[in-house]
Amino acid sequence: MKKIKWSIMSLALVFSICAAFATKPHWDCTTLPQYYFNGSGYLPVGPLYGCMQGVSTCTYYTTNGGITYSPCTIGTYNNCAGCAVETPKSSTKAGH
């Protein structure tokens, strides 16, 4: 009888831990102002920034006024990912 009781108690414990993690809300750090590290300090990201593929931290966020910064997104910071790139114009005249 004790083996059955301990088995049920163990299953209840495992179930409660799994349920706690499953119902934990996902917090999105990208809704906060984003910063990037330029090698000596943290600066606000530009309005057209993007994170290119990479394995390092792209942007950071802070919740305490800049005392500490925490990683938010992964990749390589690109200050102008949304900038339009003008293609070189070619001459339409023959021989030019």
Q: What is the pLDDT of residues 4-57, one digit of tens each?
A: 878 888 888 887 776 666 666 677 888 899 999 998 999 999 888 888 888 899
pLDDT in tens, 45-93: 988 888 888 889 999 999 998 999 999 999 888 877 666 555 445 445 5
Quote the pTM value: 0.58
Instruction: List the chain domain ranges.
Output: 2-78
Q: Give me the residues paired with residue 37 across strands.
A: 42
Do residues 33 and 42 make contact, with C-beta atoms less than 8 angstroms apart? Answer: no
